[in-house]
Amino acid sequence: MTADIDKENEKEDKQPGLKELTKAVQKRLTVLQHRIKEAKIPVIIVFEGWGASGKGAIIGSLISELDPRGFKVYTTGGPSADELRFPLIRRFWIKIPEYGRLSIFDRSWYRDVSMSAVEDGISIAEIDRRFDDILNIERQLSDDGYVLLKFFLRISKKEQRKRFEKLESNPATSWRVTRDDWRHHRMYPQYKRAFETMIQRTDRDYAPWIRINAENRKKVCYNVFTCVESALEDALRREKAAYSPVIRTDDSIKPLPIKRLADYNPAVRFENDEYKPALKKAQKRLFELHNVLYRRRIPLIIVYEGWDAAGKGGNIKRLTDGLDPRGYEVIPVAAPSPPELYRHYLWRFWNSLPKSGHIAIYDRSWYGRVMVERIEKFCSEEQWKRAFDEINHFELSLSEWGAVIIKFWLHIDRDEQLVRFNERMNNEEKRWKITDEDWRNREKWDLYEEAVDDMLIHTHTENAPWVVIESNDKKHARVKVLNTVIKRIEHVLKDRGIKSALL
């Protein structure tokens, strides 16, 4: 009698028609893929779950009908030695899809946290911090129009054992079950707790977790596909309703007070006669400190912003003159090129971070978002207003990774700019440096000044302070930048309790 009931259940489980239903939703996904491409909606689908829960097979089935030009599958193993020299989240950030495309992750940014929580016994506070970091990034992506879907594939400990044993019994697949897999199997209860915390802490409307029972292989694909389908349909509907992202202020990082641009006197001069020796001395000191940073694997990020013709190029040259060219890079930031233009504006900066121990000098930077993009209306008011908080979080991530950050505004006054523009016009060799755009920007001085003030007020933080450099006198500007960088490094090193024969 009991046996009979079981049999009936089995039959029901097979659900005649499920195969056809699955095929049908696959076909509809093909059409949806084209529609999200047209609507330029980017989609990120994350698969987390137990070992042998069938992530590979589900992803294989999901993509089998999709246009390969529209998606990429990323498999996440442990970070490589190279990846470990950057913030951990970078390896995912640089894989976000272009607008209109899909990135599918087999394990994701959640992998490192949940592994660490169980294996490395990191503190609850640290885990919390990492989850906040993840949530912040997911929110930034969602604000930018990215659709995020996170699947967690559940199987019981018993089912996992059964699957491992089956894989092991087949010579073509036995190598797939590793010693680590069995170890994790034995730690099923610990991992279960970690996964539960993860889901609880990071389930948000903008990036929901979807728990999927993965024990029934036939149903699981159908369930996943229909979830993807309805998420894409929702996104398309929202798109039509002219979805406009919200300005968030609730959990912004609080910036420190700072003076307005008008309160600085750009005409401050270098009073000491001994410019060359002062320069040489500072360059030598920076060289020494760079060696300390290099050995400690501490990255240094220097941002240059400033008025046109304020002397950024020459200033950067003096900063780098004494440095080993193998340890620094000057990153000139121009208008974004196509692959950059088609993604979140911070993507290209995640792509250009310095390795640990290296120096990155940004000749213009992510602040373009709240300067030129604001003034030329390349982004909406909501977007640039939201950018202050996004940038603060970005810089906080870098700082928590260990980076020393310093940001300069090279300040000259209107008259000095005019003198320099004319000088360039009259000099054959320098004429290429000046364009019509420079003259147009000059007309917008007041607009820029307002933008600079907003930028200083909203993004001057303890981790990433702004320093306004009076630059009418180039000598003053060059020596001040060098000495500010030196002081900043010394301050951070001392703060971290790093003692060195060189300090």
Size of the site for a second copy (CB under 8 A): 46
Closest approach of Cβ 144 to a second copy, in Å? 22
Query: Is residue 321 involved in binding a second copy (CB under 8 A)?
Result: yes
DSSP string, 181-210: HHHHHHTHHHHHHHHHHHHHHH-BTTB-EE
CA gap 402, 356 in Å, rounded? 8
CA gap 281, 295 in Å, rounded? 22
> What is residue 292's DSSP assignment?
H
Binding a second copy by CB under 8 A: which of 215, 305, 308, 363? 363
Query: Is residue 167 involved in binding a second copy (CB under 8 A)?
Result: no
Closest approach of Cβ 316 to a second copy, in Å? 7
Q: Nearest Cα to 183, choosing from 166, 164, 169?
A: 164
Residues 250-309 close enough to bind a second copy by CB under 8 A: 287-288, 291, 295
| Binding map of a second copy across residues 91-130, x = CB under 8 A, - = no contact | ---------------x------------------------
Secondary structure string (H, E, C) spanning 126-161: HHHHHHHHHHHHHHHHHHCCCEEEEEEEECCHHHHH
Q: Which stretch binds a second copy (CB under 8 A): 172-180, 231-239, 368-376, 469-477?
A: 172-180
Which amino acid type is present at position 130? R
Matching residue, tokens 């589900």: 58
- Looking at the DSSP bridge assignments, the partners of residue 73 are 104
Residues 425-464 close enough to bind a second copy by CB under 8 A: 429, 432
Binding a second copy by CB under 8 A: which of 159, 329, 413, 454? 329
Task: Number of helices (H) and strands (E) in the chain: give both, helices first.
Answer: 20, 10
Binding a second copy by CB under 8 A: which of 332, 414, 418, 440? 332
Closest approach of Cβ 53 to a second copy, in Å? 14
Query: Is residue 65 involved in binding a second copy (CB under 8 A)?
Result: yes
Closest approach of Cβ 324 to a second copy, in Å? 5
Binding a second copy by CB under 8 A: which of 9, 15, 156, 173? 173
Query: Is residue 18 involved in binding a second copy (CB under 8 A)?
Result: no
Binding a second copy by CB under 8 A: which of 25, 32, 63, 221? 63
CA gap 412, 318 in Å, rounded? 18
Query: Is residue 39 involved in binding a second copy (CB under 8 A)?
Result: no
Q: Distance between alpha carbon 153 and the CA centroid of its chain, in Å?
A: 26
Could you tell me where the beta strands, DSSP code E, fall in 333-403? Answer: 359-363
CA gap 390, 379 in Å, rounded? 14
| Interaction site with a second copy (CB under 8 A) | 31, 34, 56, 59-60, 63-65, 68-69, 72-73, 75, 80-82, 106, 171-173, 175, 287-288, 291, 295, 316-317, 320-321, 323-326, 329-332, 334, 337-339, 363, 429, 432, 501-502
